Amino acid sequence: MAEFGNLPTRIQQLAKAELQQDEKIYLCVLGRSSLLRPDFVLITSQRVLVLDEKFMGNVAVSYANIRCNLLFSDISSVKLARMLKHRLFGQARLEIYVKRNIYWIDNLGFREAIHVHQFITDQIRRKTNGYFLEISCSTL
């Protein structure tokens, strides 16, 4: 797990601008395998926010980008998948299903992916007031 205070400044500023005043950040996780351009996954009390930092031309000029901004009320189900490459490197892919779309958060650390999956599942159940949802996890 990552600390919000240790994330790049542009990522912190963009995250603070996107979040509401009463919203709290519970989990910060790094996705992708590239250390130079990771995805910054923020799980808050109301949403899943995936941010990344892009570089223009050279390393000195960069900007923060929102890759995914999903409210828990929009998420229909969550799946944790592990392909052969994920098993070899101790990683997993989180698949978030919304109406007519699937969002992948790839190359998360396996233990972190389990925590994120469980947290999102709990939040979905809370937001739907106990209605049954199909939350699946592939064979680990």
DSSP state of 1: -
Which whole number is the average pLDDT over 1-15? 88
How many domains does the chain divide into? Answer: 1
Give the domain extent around 111.
Answer: 4-133
Count of alpha carbons within 13 angstroms of residue 133, beta-carbon side? 25
Beta bridge pairs of residue 50 = 41, 68
pLDDT of residue 132: 45
Query: Does any domain span residue 139?
Result: no
Determine how many CB atoms are found less than 10 A away from the CB of residue 111.
Answer: 11
Phi-psi bin for 81: left (phi > 0), alpha (psi -120 to 50), beta? beta
Q: How confident is the model at residue 129, as a pLDDT?
A: 62
pLDDT (tens digit, 9 = 90+) per residue, 83-120?
999 999 999 999 999 998 999 999 999 999 999 999 99
Q: Is residue 140 a part of any domain in this protein?
A: no
Is 85 contained in some domain? yes
CATH classification at residue 55: 2.30.29.30
